[in-house]
Amino acid sequence: MEWAYNVYEDRCPTRMVLDRLADKWAVLILDRLRGAPVRFNHIRRDIKGISQKVLSQTLKRLERDGLISRAVFPTVPVTVEYALTPLGRTLTDTVSALAHWAECNMDAVLAAQEAYDAAVERR
């Protein structure tokens, strides 16, 4: 499969979309939402190291991009559930493949880094 001609162009819409996807937190969040809807602080607890601010920002961006939905329940205090939209669901396999690759090839990458650093050291 080939990309369309304009992926390499600056500011083409495809690049904009790619920009969103090429984000660590977005990838983790999209994967986290693969199952049932999840609440804000639940995601926050699950994805270690993400700040409230960044989580909020990323969720908003993903919602704006139509990848996730936001449902507010008028409980006290309020409950908000995030879930994948149908569009977002078409992306999960791809995104998970990326993360899966990271899992599987982590060792190879770490070994390569050590070899590289050792080679630099010797110079």
Q: Which residues bind DNA (CB under 7 A)?
A: 39-42, 49-54, 56-57, 59-60, 70, 77-82
Q: Which residue do the tokens 């607890």 mark?
A: 45
CA distance 54 to 73: 23
Which CB, 49 or 86, lies closer to DNA? 49
Residues 6+ apart with CB under 8 A from 120: none
User: Both tokens of residue 76?
Assistant: 């006290």
CA distance 88 to 115: 39
**Is 69 one of the binding residues for a second copy (CB under 8 A)?**
no
Residue 122 contact, options a second copy, DNA, none, Cβ 5-8 Å cut-off depending on partner type: none
Residue 109 contact, options a second copy, DNA, none, Cβ 5-8 Å cut-off depending on partner type: a second copy
Angle at 74 between CA 33 and CA 60, to 5 degrees: 40
**Is 15 one of the binding residues for a second copy (CB under 8 A)?**
yes
**Is 8 one of the binding residues for a second copy (CB under 8 A)?**
yes
Q: Phi-psi region for residue 105, left (φ > 0), alpha (ψ -120 to 50) or beta?
A: alpha
The residues binding a second copy (CB under 8 A) are 1, 3-4, 7-11, 13-15, 17-24, 26-28, 31-32, 46-49, 63-67, 87, 90-91, 94-103, 105-106, 108-113, 115-117
